[in-house]
Structure 1
């Protein structure tokens, strides 16, 4: 008997664009998709999205969990959900940083990955 795969296999770029769409549906702002596959050993794509506040950030993170489950996409973990100022969602080959605006500027993840190619969301 053939064992069924628990999670769907989606190319990283396609998954990142799908995640960006889910974030847009929940009014996520200033979404940036970076291809870090050639410069990171941890993930292939990194997304950054701004939230209007803590509750909005938490709602964006919850949206990602719900949509990942609905679409059988592997979810490895989440950090920062309680405080909601910076939430990291790990979908294996796609990492999502949900920031409230002030912290996004402070941590400047885009600057840290300046050499990573940007994709259209």
Structure 2
């Protein structure tokens, strides 16, 4: 893991970019966390809620399109068919797209309370 100031800035920028993509497409309760000092498997996590299964799949599609356009790492996806909890593995960042009731049930926010929250806003545009 890269804990240098430059590494943290790059992680923050990537989390902000990916989080803004979800906000653009009307995801709710989007939370971006830097968990780099607590996780050996990944450095950042984004949690987002979707209005329904179709909306969840649309959010995942939107993120994956931007990942491809910006040549970001992509290792895989789980849960797309069901659309209740879609997990996107972007190597150093994991994105969880939930339906509200699934998000409440698993309460990942409660598990990662010590993660550092990264402020988000819908901005769009290209990844730097």
User: Where does residue 68 of structure 1 map in the other structure?
Assistant: 67
Shift of 1:89: 0.4
| Number of equivalences | 112
Give, in angstroms, the shift of residue 27 of structure 1. 0.7
Shift of 1:98: 0.2
Q: 2:35 touches 2:116 (CA, 8 Å); kept in 1? A: yes
User: What is the CA–CA distance in structure 2 between the aligned matches of 1:15 and 1:51, rounded to whole Å?
Assistant: 21
* Structure 2 segments unaligned to the other structure (5+ residues): 1-8, 121-128
Q: Secondary structure at the match of 1:102?
A: helix
Q: Who is 1:45 aligned against? A: 44
C-alpha separation in 2, matches of 1:43 and 1:102: 25
1:34 is aligned to 33
Q: Structure 1 residue 37: deviation in Å? A: 0.1
Matching of residue 90 in structure 1 with residue 122 in structure 2: no
Off by >2 Å, runs of 4+ in structure 1 = none
* Runs of 5+ unmatched residues, structure 1: 1-9
TM-score, normalising length: structure 2 = 0.85
Q: Following TM superposition, by how much is the alpha carbon of 1:107 offset from its aligned partner in structure 2, in angstroms? A: 0.3
Distance between the aligned counterparts of 2:15 and 2:29, measured in 1?
15
Partner of 1:107: 106
Q: CA RMSD in A?
A: 1.1
